[in-house]
Chain A
Amino acid sequence: MKSLEELDIRSDLVYTKTHEWAQKTGNTVRVGVDDYAQNALGDIVYVELPAAGAAVNAGAAFGSLESTKAVSDLNSPVTGKVTAVNETLVDSPEKVNTSPYEEGWIIEVEPAEPGELDGLMKNDAYRAFLKTLAPVE
């Protein structure tokens, strides 16, 4: 398990308490899971994805990640409509482990309301939040 210092927590993203990241690009928000989540889950072997066009709600599950250890919900950071799904994860779910912020992105959402990301944690706040969780050595 990576230590808190070893985790790649990026400054150009915002984070949820359930370890998803979000990044606004133009009119859409790209969503994935962060280095903490992929490291804690272990090898991801299957990603349950929503269909393009599906409605997602902030804080509610839109899919799941299957690791060899467990199943974990994917929660949406924003309310809106799914505009794109990373279909390469169907054949290569391990991209969530190897490249959680780039090739392993999961969905893109058109938010219902602008500014919805404002309530999410920036990287410093997120690191502080991670420290409050069960200690990683």
Chain B
Amino acid sequence: MLRKTALNAIHREMGGELTDFGGWEMPLWYPTGSVREHLAVIETSGVFDIGHMDLLRIKGKDAFNLLQLCLTRNISTLKAGSCGYSMILNERGHVVDDSIVYNLGGDGYILIVNAAMGPVVRKHLEQQGAFPDVCVVDESGRFSKIDLQGPAAPNIIRKILEKGRGTIDELRYFQFRGDYANPNSEIAFPGNIPVLLSRTGYTGEVGFEIVMPCDRALAAWNLIRDAGGSDVTPCGLAARDSLRTGAMLPLSHQDIGAWPFVNTPWSFALPRDREGRFTKDFIGSGIYRDPPSIYTCAFCGFDPRKVETREALVLLNGASIGSVTTCAIDMAIGRAEGKIYSVTSPDKPSSFRARGLVCGFIRVDRPLKPGQRVVLKDSRRSIEAEIVSDIRPNRTARVKI
């Protein structure tokens, strides 16, 4: 029996193509189609039901110490009202899950983790027994989450907010305001819906993740749809996956998981100073003393043709050097004159037309440099791919709003 989010009836009503995603019945796309949904987030905005994620609240005088030990991110620089992306590693340096940690102030933190990972991460935290004054509460099921992503998102949120409207203008990338569990939240949607509004997302585009009480999710969804009008397109998980791939973001348990978190494009989640030294000790840090030869690289191909990740090999000069962890199509990009452009690139050639490019991540046994070519081979086909340091250009996540 699949679990259903608070917005399940909406997905059905809208004719969403429903699928089993981590035990949840979620929309892959709506009749709009995943291509137009992907492009909507880049050109206007898209709204996603992300009610399948889990949320832990960590409270008490030892909350900081516990998280400082368990997260790869150094949270001593994370001010109240700021959030950060972090890995949670086990002793072997394998990824338990990735998360966003929110500093609520007053010894309170929130960790948003992936679907079904609340109990796993809670157990992992509680196994670190040295901290008497800390309480980890799994609030999964009490909240719902809606992501509004794309350049039209800031104005849509401004239109909706009756409380805290001015704070939007000040909100920088990876800052948040409000708390959905506080009836007097600093941020509230009309109808007195307390929300946690964070300027984050999983698409690489400017936007917000909005957490609200579960029973208010439908009202919040309708407020966003009404305020956004034709500038907001409901989007399913297929667009979310292709957008995050083009934005160089990993999918937990696919691009990162039960193997050492070393030599990845996501090393910014590690607490290194400018000289490359760790600024704190944390669970799993031992792996970096003698890291194994595992390298994760981003690739981009030359047309939209994909390979099957479950079976595809990465070939270098005919020899297999690894496997493909994500293979998706970013429909907003294409190649022209030897360079990758997006539909929003201001410098794109006048003849440019985005036909989409296959892109994703590979895990290999040796370092590869941007510009190097590899072949991705499954039982159907072989495709050429270029190792890249970035995929979709001109992303808007960090723009001033």
The B1-49 residues at the A interface (CB cut-off 8 A) are 15, 17, 28-29, 33-36, 38
Tell me if A35 counts as interface (CB < 8 A to partner B).
Answer: no
Q: Cβ of A45 and Cβ of B17 under 8 Å apart?
A: no
Q: In the complex, what distance in Å separates the CA atom of A97 from the CA atom of B238?
A: 17
Main secondary structure of the interface of A (DSSP, over half): mixed
Q: Cβ of A97 and Cβ of B33 under 8 Å apart?
A: yes
Q: In the complex, what distance in Å separates the CA atom of A46 from the CA atom of B329?
A: 11
Residue ID in chain A nearest B35 by CB atoms = A43
Q: Cβ of A45 and Cβ of B33 under 8 Å apart?
A: no
**Chain B residues with CB under 8 A of A43:** 29, 33-36
Tell me if B165 counts as interface (CB < 8 A to partner A).
Answer: no
- Interface bin, chain A: 10 to 19
Tell me if A71 counts as interface (CB < 8 A to partner B).
Answer: yes
Q: Cβ of A42 and Cβ of B238 under 8 Å apart?
A: yes
Residue ID in chain B nearest A2 by CB atoms = B15
**Chain B residues with CB under 8 A of A69:** 28, 34, 238
Tell me if B380 counts as interface (CB < 8 A to partner A).
Answer: yes
Q: Cβ of B306 and Cβ of A71 under 8 Å apart?
A: yes
Tell me if B242 counts as interface (CB < 8 A to partner A).
Answer: yes
Q: Which A residues form the contact surface with B (CB < 8 A)? A: 1, 42-43, 45-46, 48, 64, 66, 68-69, 71, 91, 94, 97
Supply 12 further A-B pairs (C-beta < 8 A) apart from A46-B305, A66-B304, A68-B29. Answer: A42-B33, A42-B238, A43-B33, A43-B35, A45-B304, A46-B304, A64-B380, A66-B329, A68-B34, A68-B35, A71-B305, A71-B306
18 inter-chain pairs at a CB distance below 8 angstroms, sorted by A residue, are A1-B15, A42-B17, A42-B29, A42-B238, A43-B33, A45-B304, A45-B329, A45-B331, A45-B356, A46-B304, A46-B305, A66-B305, A68-B238, A69-B34, A71-B305, A91-B353, A91-B355, A97-B33
